Structure 1
């Protein structure tokens, strides 16, 4: 069986065979199905390849996409989605764990770099509160997922439309991103220090962040 990542690579190559009109039609299908977060990635990519094969075959016979798949592509896509099973819960948990590991590694490395730069200009406080940091990591992860979900929903709502609301959708996506960022910053500002604490230098932060980020890549999250 061809894995999902290989199917994506094959899909990207074969799409170049489509006419501009059919490529636009298929791109809407591809975006709409791939943005269904909880669907099986493997089976979603297999279905997308089948659609692409049918589209290319029909194109070679002189049939446009609207003839092959009908005048209501969204309804056709929804029918396909209903037949694709959900992703295995273990894979969903693995994905969320991977996001958390990547996020933790990046935040620790960013903290280390910022503290290093600031240390050239003034003395810095390197005391950290692990419990508080875990709460903040949870808040950041939560609002990151909420932001991504909201943006994905806006994008899904814009496909299969003749007149795409690019400016309006961009403003809405920006508003969601800004709101989630603002709430996260607000929580960080208002959350009091609590629990045990210890000194955590910029170098230790940078090294630990690099280890966690590297571990997430080794585990192929």
Structure 2
């Protein structure tokens, strides 16, 4: 049973990849495929370190691990091509409980936003493909902020865009850096792990760690009653 907080929930801010969309596995597969294409071994364990990181941090991570001679721009360009192919051939799906949760927010008339580390182009394309375009009051992408997660800027920007103070928002995240960003913004966060298990640190920052978004729906119903 999740414990409610004194402050009511007046707005909800979602991460996108791994939380709304079952896309992290596709992104990992695309990284591995791009590495193979260029003749580099890119193990899944290394690729998982990029989960929740903005693109510039991913580039630094790859450069630091593979050296200055690594074809960085070509690698990420090929990764984007592979990911787009995976997505456009029907492999992108919604995570469990997304639509019932959005339907609940519609009934409660709660504003909602997305704060994502993905680019504006990728975000708009993916949301449209799965039929979620138009279901959010605001979308903050990596292109819209100067500092990505784990910096709190994406969450603070999203809260401003929906006109709700951070203490009255609820953040929903799957990644460690996303949970850190929401916590640093002063926003309660429920973590729904995808490819990364919640660590003791993340459990300490989270209001709760749950299996899927159905449990989140039950919490919001209680917190807004």
Structure with greater strand percent: 2
Structure showing greater radius of gyration is 1
> Do the two structures share a fold, i.e. TM-score over 0.5?
no
Structure with greater helix percent: 1
Alignment TM-score, normalising by the size of structure 1: 0.30
Alignment TM-score, normalising by the size of structure 2: 0.30
